[in-house]
């Protein structure tokens, strides 16, 4: 059989081999010029809950996992600087999820951290549930201390399909919501949309439909006895 033709090495490689042969050094094998490193496998995407936690850790300066004094005013005051009003003033309704930075199912400390505000805890006779006053809203909690509803007051915006519901004429708000939920239910002092998980309070609208909406409540499924899924 004839001899196999030798692969011609680049000029700089041949010179390097000659130099090392003279010095008695072992020659390094030449690497093919077209060697391509294999691509690294893509990292699997993190679950949404992990991404949300990471976001809060990056963007919430007072984030402090593992606080033992959960829900206490003392714990909040250690992490937050006193302010006159919460940092967030726009809340977009996410049906049965929450509104803006406040999510249903949050603990008291998570709600305070999200709002960057030290709330005032209170309990009423009409509603014997633990609640926090955030100046712009009341956050109600159920055992074991997780958010089940948020009631917003004027001076902030509560958006539904891009429209602010708070402080607007009741007639205008009702007509807008009916376009998206024909099954809304009148309550005598406003209405409730079980499809989208919120209610509107306008106590004087029965006298004058141009009276403004005074509050908007966002709630979890089963918050009201007649809500779907409450049993």
Mean pLDDT of the chain: 75
Q: Is 190 left (phi over 0), alpha (psi -120 to 50) or beta?
A: left
Residue 151 near residue 190 (C-beta atoms within 8 A): no
Q: Model confidence over 112-170: pLDDT tens digits?
A: 999 988 888 877 665 555 899 998 999 999 988 899 999 999 889 999 999 999 999 99
Q: How confident is the model at residue 99, as a pLDDT?
A: 97
- The pLDDT-based confidence of 215 (bands split at 50, 70, 90) is very high
Distance CA 172, CA 195 (A): 19
Distance CA 74, CA 177 (A): 41
| φ, ψ (nearest 5 deg) of residue 214 | -95, -25
Whether the per-residue pLDDT at 29 is higher than 60: the answer is no
Q: How confident is the model at residue 110, as a pLDDT?
A: 96
According to the 3-state scheme, what is the secondary structure of the chain?
CCCCCCCCCCHHHHHHHHHHHHHCCCCCCCCCCCCCCCCCCCCCCCCHHHHHHHHHHHHCCCCCCCCCCCCCHHHHHHHCCCCCCCCCCEEEEECCCEECCEECCCEHHHHHHHHCCCCEEECCCCCCCCEEECCCEEEEEECCCEEEEEEECCCCEEEECCEECCCCEHHHHHHHHHHHCCCCEECCCEEEECCCCEEEECCCCCCCCCCECCEEEEECCCCCCCCCCCC
Q: How confident is the model at residue 193, as a pLDDT?
A: 97
What are the Cα distances from residue 95, in Å, to 8, 52, 68, 108?
Answer: 71, 18, 31, 20
- The pLDDT-based confidence of 58 (bands split at 50, 70, 90) is very low
Residue 170 near residue 200 (C-beta atoms within 8 A): yes
Neighbours of 99 (CB within 10 A): 26
Average pLDDT of span 35-46: 54
Q: Model confidence over 85-102: pLDDT tens digits?
A: 666 889 999 999 999 999
Q: How confident is the model at residue 138, as a pLDDT?
A: 93
Of all residues in the chain, the percent with pLDDT exceeding 70 is: 57
Residue 198 near residue 188 (C-beta atoms within 8 A): no
Q: How confident is the model at residue 55, as a pLDDT?
A: 34
Q: Model confidence over 103-128: pLDDT tens digits?
A: 999 999 999 999 988 888 877 665 55
- The pLDDT-based confidence of 187 (bands split at 50, 70, 90) is very high
Average pLDDT of span 65-75: 38
**144 upstream amide cis, omega within 30 of 0:** yes
């Amino acid at each position: 059989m004839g001899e196999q033709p030798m692969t011609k090495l680049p000029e700089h490689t041949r010179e390097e081999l000659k130099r090392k042969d003279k010095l008695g050094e072992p020659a390094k094998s030449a690497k093919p010029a077209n060697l391509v490193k294999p691509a690294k496998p893509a990292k699997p995407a993190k679950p949404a809950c992990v991404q949300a936690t990471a976001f809060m850790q990056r963007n919430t300066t007072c984030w402090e996992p593992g606080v033992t004094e959960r829900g206490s005013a003392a714990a909040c005051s250690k992490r937050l600087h006193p302010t006159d009003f919460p940092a967030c003033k726009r809340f977009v309704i996410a049906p049965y999820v929450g509104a803006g930075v406040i999510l249903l199912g949050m603990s008291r400390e998570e709600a305070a951290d999200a709002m960057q505000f030290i709330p005032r805890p209170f309990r009423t006779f009409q509603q014997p549930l633990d609640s926090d006053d955030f100046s712009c809203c009341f956050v109600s909690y159920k055992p074991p201390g997780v958010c089940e509803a948020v009631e917003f007051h004027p001076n902030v915006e509560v958006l539904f399909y891009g429209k602010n519901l708070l402080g607007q004429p009741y007639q205008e708000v009702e007509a807008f919501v009916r376009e998206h939920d024909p099954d809304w239910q009148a309550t005598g002092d406003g209405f409730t949309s079980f499809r989208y998980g919120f209610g509107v309070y306008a106590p004087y609208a029965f006298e004058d439909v141009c009276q403004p909406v005074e509050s908007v409540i966002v709630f979890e499924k089963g918050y009201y006895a007649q809500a779907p899924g409450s049993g």
